[in-house]
Structure 1
Amino acid sequence: MRLAILDDYQGVALSFGPWERLAGRVETTVFRDHLADEDALAARLTPFDAILGMRERTAFPASLLARLPKLKLLMTTGGRNNSFDLAAAQAAGITVCGTPTKGAPTVDIAIGVILGLLRGIPTEQASLRAGGWQVGVGRAAEGATLGVIGLGKLGQRVAKVGQALGMRVIAWSQNLTAEAAAAVGVERVEKRDLLAQSDVVTLHVVLSARSRGIIGADDLAAMKPTAYIVNTSRGPLIDQDALIAALKAGTIAGAGLDVFDIEPLPADHPIRSAPNTLLTPHLGYVTQENYRAYFVGAVEAIEAYLAGAPIRLL
């Protein structure tokens, strides 16, 4: 079997899994760069029988799968992947498997970004490293209102941390009921009320046709000029042009983003130069514990496939 491991940005995939168990049976090639062009991807991946994708970094639509006649096993790190066309894979006789995940590390990034924005940590660190001292006056989390859009598994955990910090927490999503919010000690409000009341708005919804652009220009205009918006879910949940315009106009205080409309983020993307931002390179799931679960799980999936009994089928 010839295996391609894709988008290993940090060059760590082989160090987090027991790949030696596949010695003599699997020839592995690791690609650290990202290819977005389908022609280039098809040319690169044509020789491979198996492919391991890292989350949704590289999409596998029907058009690409049709150009990979040797592909028999397609794997994703994690338990689901909305960028894989599962129906097309099934029709082509391609087995698709997932891997385990570990914990909810995106919560760490969301809270870190929220606190970084409120206390101006990146600006203060930059000043200190440049030889300066205090340059701003931050605000406390305690007493502030945290607006959570999407009160699922991750949203609930972020809400609980916010409560532990002394924040008032309110929530909204398209399906959220008052009873479900109250069950976790959160007040359910309408979307416009959440935007108008919150000092920090944080997004925790799955990207879909219904949620794409769930925060647009009108929503940003409804926020307080002293409020921040944080997105650690998926970039297209926020209208990027509208967000950049709001940041440049100063109609909101700032934004913390771990996800973007294009990833990896192009060097000339305008969000890089937008003011009052705290930007991280999609670190939500990037932890040693998660990577170990991913790559151990990938080895297990390959072993099971070679034994004729695939596991964690998607």
Structure 2
Amino acid sequence: MAVQIAVIDDWQDVARDVVDWSVLDHIGQVSFIHDYPADNETLAARLGEFEVICVMRERTRFDEDLLRRLPKLKLLVTGSMRNAALDLKAAAQGIQVCGTDSYKHAAPELTWALIMAATRNLVVEANALRAGLWQQCLGGDLHGKTLAILGLGSIGTRVAQFGQVFGMRVIAWSENLSAERAAEVGVTYVSKQELFEQADVLSVHLVLSDRSRGLVDAQALDWMKPSALLVNTARGPIVDEAALIKALQKRRLAGAALDVFEQEPLPAHHPFRTLDNVLATPHVGYVSQQNYHQFFSQMIEDIQAWSAGEPIRVLS
């Protein structure tokens, strides 16, 4: 009997064309589902028939309650080797969980695109030109300014390198960062307060954890220059959203460029949709052709290996 396979979180309706899913025809039938996350009762009704579910990282949440409502589920496959939306402990009670590698360049490239677009007011100018206008504002500059990196991991390091190419002074801080590690990539290690105080552009690149949740709070935002730009392409909850909205509304901060949010998709009437000093994109940091090709091709490999009784890239 054919295994029922669901590819969910396919919000853009692109998954079927990124790779050749027909290689799974001898294993089962693949269905593509484009709905946004919902309550567990709705999700259970939507997904109850599937034995294999392929998920995009941190979109639909699979908690213990939902997993109990899916008795047919045998394999969860996620894009990336890290997905905070999956309860791996609960899944370990009979559900195999496997992951994929990630394309490492998509997120830093999007980060730099946001920095450039926000600094030079590109969206305002492009929209004005389409409306028949010409030269609406004065763009900012990056050369000689200070780029502050909150979290100097692989993505933060790449963004730091971009800043260095643009002639920026680059500083960094995180709880685990040392001056020696920062110096290895030509970055100056500073304290947390100095990071926020000296930043002309502050870019967030931490993993979301209990320790990092809410780390960019009202105090940290108060330390920043009124002319500074905050950029977050990591995870929404690392920044205290209410504090950020207040700072932006009161112009205590020049602007924010955001790809991630506390709640996703962003609610229809959220202030980030209307504040004129916010450049917001719908969590597209990892939504690139190369990354999706890697995610989905390795999801297929995971399903083939599981079907053969030899699972790979096992998370749980």
Give the TM-score normalised by the residue count of structure 2: 0.97
Report what 2:181 is aligned to. 180
Letter in 2 for 1:43: A
| Residue 34 (1) aligns with residue 36 (2) | yes
5+ residue gaps in structure 2? none
CA deviations 1:140-186 (Å, max 9, x no partner) are 11011000000011101100110010000010111111111111111
AA aligned to 1:5 is V
Q: Provide the residue aligned with 1:112 in structure 2.
A: 113
Q: Is the 8 A contact 2:7 2:31 kept in 1?
A: yes
Q: Is 1:293 aligned with 2:294?
A: yes
- The answer to whether residue 309 in structure 2 is matched with residue 311 in structure 1 is no
Q: Which residue identity lines up with residue 222 of structure 2 in the other structure?
A: A
Equivalent in the alignment of 2:138 = 137
> Does structure 2 conserve the Cα–Cα contact (< 8 Å) formed by 1:248 and 1:275?
no
- For 1:149 and 1:98, the matched residues in 2 are separated by 27
1:145 and 1:200 in contact (8 A); partners too: yes
Equivalences for residues 242-281 of structure 1 within 5 A: 242-281=243-282
Deviations 1:104-135 (A, max 9, x none): 21001110111111111111112111111111
Matches of 1:104 and 1:129 in 2, distance apart?
A: 31
Deviates more, 1:96-105 or 1:163-172: 96-105
SS class of match (2:230): strand
Residue 153 of structure 2 aligns to which amino acid in structure 1? G
Distance (Å, rounded) in 1 between the aligned partners of 2:127 and 2:10:
29
Match of 1:14 among 13, 16, 19: 16
SS of equivalent to 1:256: strand
Within-5 A mapping of 1:1-314: 1-91=3-93, 93-314=94-315
Task: Render the CA deviation track for 1:204-223: whole Å, top value 9, x for unaligned.
Answer: 00001110011111111111
The total of aligned residue pairs comes to 313
**Secondary structure, in 3 states, of the residue corresponding to 2:66?**
helix
What 5-or-longer segments of structure 1 have no aligned partner? none
Contact 2:104 2:155 in 1 (8 A): no
| 8 Å contact from structure 1 (residues 78, 101) kept in 2 | yes
Question: The residue matched to 1:146 in structure 2 has which SS?
Answer: strand
SS in 2 for 1:211: coil
Structure 1 position 24, deviation (Å) = 4.2
RMSD: 1.0
Q: Is the 8 A contact 1:172 1:191 kept in 2?
A: yes
Contact 2:50 / 2:73 at 8 angstroms: preserved in 1?
yes
Q: Is the 8 A contact 2:37 2:61 kept in 1?
A: no
The worse-fitting range, judged by mean Cα deviation, of 294-303 and 255-264 is 294-303
Query: 2 CA distance for matches of 1:112 and 1:191?
Result: 25
Three-state SS of the structure 2 residue aligned to 1:108 is helix
- The separation in 1 between residues aligned to 2:239 and 2:112, in whole angstroms, is 19
Distance 1:250 1:101 in 2: 37
The 3-state SS of whatever aligns with 1:230 is: strand
Given residue 279 of structure 1, which amino acid in structure 2 is its aligned partner?
A
With the length of structure 1 as denominator, give the TM-score of the two structures: 0.97
Deviation track 1:50-75 (CA, whole Å, cap 9, x = no partner) reads 10111110111111111111110111
8 Å CA contact 2:77–2:299 kept in 1: the answer is: yes
Give aligned-pair identity as a percent. Answer: 49
Distance 2:206 2:152 in 1: 8
CA contact (8 A) 1:247 1:275 kept: no
- Whole-Å Cα distance in 1 between the matches of residues 232 and 27 of structure 2? 42
* Contact 1:148 1:171 (C-alpha < 8 Å) held by counterparts: yes
